[in-house]
Structure 1
Amino acid sequence: MSTYPNVNETKELIKQLVSIPSPTGFTANVIQFAEEFLSNLAIETRRNRKGGLIATLPGTNNHEHRMLTAHVDTLGAMVKEVKPNGRLRLDLIGGFRYNSIEGEYCEIHTSSGKVYTGTILMHQTSVHVYKDAGKAERNQDNMEVRIDAEVNNAEAVRELGIEVGDFVSFDPRVQITDNGYIKSRHLDDKASVAILLQLMKRLKKENVTLPYTTHFLISNNEEIGYGGNSNITPETVEYLAVDMGAMGDGQSTDEYTVSICVKDSTGPYHYGLRKRLVDLAEKNQIGYKLDIYPFYGSDASAAIKSGHDIVHGLIGPGIDSSHAFERTHEKSLINTEKLVYHYVLSEMITV
């Protein structure tokens, strides 16, 4: 039995995933990618009505189930207004700030299927024209999309087929460095989607029989709060969200270990499951950090809020500069995949 799937494969899989535009509400293409990945492994999947993907691996115990989830939907935007100057006003999808997308390349996805490129800029960008270029607030009123087309009025934009409600995705700018870092937008949560896909690939390849029937939900509405709150079988006892660890002042999470969340904005995660995850990490020499994420919610907390009687937990690789120009390291990917591997092979906690 191998000790760990090739981390370079994981990083390449992340690169493929982040390169597929998938702001919340526009996730069909990336779900299809995951569906085909699992189909090639002869793992059956089904889609829920929200468009998420569910794979189930049978276990020895079919009376008590587990569920693991990671989400493919990302931050993004919609066209709020086609402006008289031929540029686009945006409405944001997900919890982030306008300053984090200033100067970013983007794509506008029209309802007819055409895609146009553009750049997200302050209206008052040119320092040769606007004396307040550096001081003006980065907000919906001041920021706009400059379309890469010869348009200078709203009518010309609409002739391209661009309209209010079209999705706007951000260039991930993904890079993999020689010393193990991966830099990209949307590592939240496509890094963990890759980890779960790699986990299922390993379990299938090694013909592992799990102790409990285990469901894997690739959710597609997490960034707006309800991706993983449904399709939880009555037999499900434990629900583990595999998302990201948030870094910053006062945080213990780093880019080299797996982060085990003890509490976020929704409250504490299940104490018994947290202790089991720590025990598995320590027994298997897995680098980990315990942490609290003050402005965070997960698919697991969404499931609790929706009334499911489950034990819930949250882990993930440490991600620097979340919801902006994100980065992690292969060591964090390795530690996270090791922990989820040992977790799905472990006994459930006693509740």
Structure 2
Amino acid sequence: MSQKVNTNEIMELIKDLVSIPSPSGNTEQVIRHVDEYFNKLGLETQRNHKGGLLVTLSGENNDRHRFLTAHVDTLGAMVKEIKSNGRLKLTMIGGFRWNHVEGEYCQIETAENKRFTGTILMHQTSVHVYKEAGDAKRDENNIEVRIDERVKSEQDVKELGISVGDFVSFEPRVEITESGFIKSRHLDDKASVALLMHVIKLLKEEGIKLPFTTHFLISNNEEIGYGGNSNIPSETEEYLAVDMGAIGDGQATDEFTVSICAKDSSGPYHLGLRKHLENLSKENHIEYKMDIYPFYGSDASAAIRAGYDLKHALIGPGIDASHAFERTHETSLLHTARLIYHYLKSNMNS
């Protein structure tokens, strides 16, 4: 199986995905990109009313179903106010810290689909002018967007077509290194979307019929809490969210293995399904780390909160510096792809 997983192909899929702006609430372009990929494989797709993308692979057993999800929406921002000096105040989309986007290039998309570039900066940026440049609080009052146009007033900005409520996306700055790393914004969770795309392609090429009918949801509202909590068929017994593994002090997760989550802020994941994933990893020589994410929630936990009667689990590649300048390694992608593949071919956990 490891010979079949092509990490170079996965990396290129990720590169394409992160290069398409898709903050939560504005994901049509990237959903269409994924849809076209599946259509080229000869797969039928459908959209839910929220704009997410569903793909179903029929199985030998159509009475018991599985459901997998990864989310294509990302962190971003929206224009909160046009300032009198021609700069923009922002409101966050998703949970990040303002210092993580300070100095970042960005793109403003208007309601008429015009796009303007800019830079996210502190108002008190110049040390030659502002004595408190290093100490001023990084917050929504001091952070602003410098638009790359000749604008000096609120009216100048409005004449460009920019208005309150326009989406602002962050430049990903994606790079693949010779040492096997991929670094970029928005690996959460476009790395996992690429993994599902690649594994589905492998199954299609091999002509494998899965033991159970399996649904794949490319969700588009996870960063704001409700991406994968709907459109789950009543026959579904197992729900596997594929999302990043968080790295930091006290965490077991690293950039070179697949992370299996035992518990996050929503509580423990289903013990039986978690053990099933752990046993599959051991049986197939998949390197994994069991971990707990204290400030984390997934589409699987959102489905449980919505009242679905499911066994839920969460796995994913280890992502360093989550919600900032993220990075992972090709070996983490490899082990995660292998676990997804073997899980899909395995018997239902009971």
Q: State whether TM-score is above 0.5.
A: yes
| Equivalent position of 1:30 in the other structure | 30
CA distance in 1, matches of 2:2, 2:102: 44
Report deviation, 1:256.
0.1
Q: Write the distance in 2 (CA, Å) between the matches of 1:3 and 1:274.
A: 26
Output one character per residue of 1:103-158: Cα deviation in whole Å (capped at 9) or x when no partner: 00000000001000000000000000000000000000001000000001000000
Residue of structure 2 equivalent to 1:240: 240
- Which amino acid in structure 2 is aligned with residue 19 of structure 1? S
Change (3 A) 1:286 1:2: closer
Cross-structure match for 1:167: 167
Letter of the 1:179 counterpart: S
Deviations 1:193-231 (A, max 9, x none): 000000110111110010000000000000000000000
Counterpart for residue 297 of structure 2 = 297
The 3-state SS of whatever aligns with 1:137 is: coil
Task: Describe the SS at the equivalent of 1:125.
Answer: coil
Q: CA offset at residue 3 of structure 1? A: 3.3
Q: Is the 8 A contact 2:5 2:338 kept in 1?
A: no
Deviations 1:285-340 (A, max 9, x none): 00000000000000000000000000000000000000000000000000000000
Task: Give the aligned residue type for 1:11.
Answer: M
Contact 1:65 1:214 in 2 (8 A): yes
Other-structure match for 1:326 = 326
Shift of 1:173: 0.3
Alignment partners' CA distance in 2, 1:107 and 1:184? 16
| Partner residue in 2 for 1:335 | 335
- Distance (whole Å) between structure 2 residues aligned to residue 113 and residue 312 of structure 1: 39
Deviations 1:45-97 (A, max 9, x none): 00000000000000000000000000000000000000001000000000111
Secondary structure of the residue aligned to 2:32 is helix
C-alpha distance in structure 1 between counterparts of 2:252 and 2:275, whole Å: 17
Contact 2:67/2:215 (<8 A) preserved:
yes
Measured in 2, the distance between the counterparts of 1:73 and 1:315 equals: 18
Match of residue 215 from structure 1: 215
1:247-266 correspondence runs (5 A):
247-266=247-266
Aligned 1:176-191 pairs, distance under 5 A: 176-191=176-191
Distance 1:240 1:21 in 2: 26
Tell me if 1:10 matches 2:10. Answer: yes
Tell me how many residue pairs correspond in the alignment: 350
2:202 corresponds to: 202
Give the drift of 1:232.
0.3
Cα shift at 1:4: 2.6
Question: Match of 2:283?
Answer: 283
Instruction: Give the structure 1 partner of residue 120 of structure 2.
Output: 120
2:345 aligned partner: 345
Question: AA paired with 1:97?
Answer: R
Partner residue, 1:130 = 130
Q: Name the SS of the counterpart of 1:280 in structure 2.
A: helix
SS of the equivalent of 2:272 reads helix
Determine if contact 1:4/1:334 at 8 Å carries over to the other structure. no
In 1, Cα distance between the equivalents of 2:114 and 2:225?
A: 29
Distance in 2 of aligned mates of 1:329 and 1:267: 28
SS at match of 2:275: helix
Q: For structure 2, which runs of at least 5 residues remain unmatched after alignment?
A: none
What is the 5 A alignment of 1:49-68?
49-68=49-68
- Aligned equivalents of 1:331, 1:110: Cα separation in 2: 39
Equivalent AA in structure 2 for residue 69 of structure 1? T
- Give me the CA root mean square deviation: 0.7
Q: Report if the CA contact (8 A) 2:74-2:189 is conserved.
A: yes
| Cα distance, 1:2 vs structure 2 | 7.2
Partner SS state of residue 277, structure 2: helix
Does structure 1 retain, via aligned residues, the 8 Å contact 2:2–2:338?
A: no
Matched, 1:149 2:137: no
2:54 and 2:215 in contact (8 A); partners too: yes
Q: CA deviation at 1:349?
A: 1.0
Q: Is the 8 A contact 1:281 1:288 kept in 2?
A: yes
Report the equivalent of 1:228.
Answer: 228
Q: Partner residue of 2:39?
A: 39
Corresponding residue of 1:81: 81
Unaligned regions of 5+ residues in structure 1, if any? none
- Partners of 1:4 and 1:141 lie apart in 2 by 51
Shift of 1:5: 2.3
Q: Provide the C-alpha distance between the structure 1 equivalents of 2:297 and 2:249, rounded to a whole number of angstroms.
A: 19
Normalised by the length of structure 2, the TM-score is 0.99
Aligned AA (2:222): E
TM-score by length of 1: 0.99
> How far apart, CA to CA, are the structure 1 residues paired with 2:32 and 2:5?
23
1:317/1:336 contact within 8 Å kept: yes
Which amino acid counterpart does residue 32 of structure 1 have in structure 2?
A: R
Contact kept? 2:2, 2:334, Cα under 8 Å: no
Q: What secondary structure does 1:150 align onto? A: coil
> CA separation in 2, counterparts of 1:226 and 1:3?
36
Specify the alignment match of 1:97 in structure 2: 97
Contact 1:103 1:120 (C-alpha < 8 Å) held by counterparts: yes
- Whether the aligned pair in 2 keeps the contact of 1:4 and 1:338 (CA below 8 Å) is no
Runs of 4+ in structure 1 deviating by more than 3 angstroms, as ranges, are none
Opposite residue 244 of structure 1, the aligned amino acid is: M
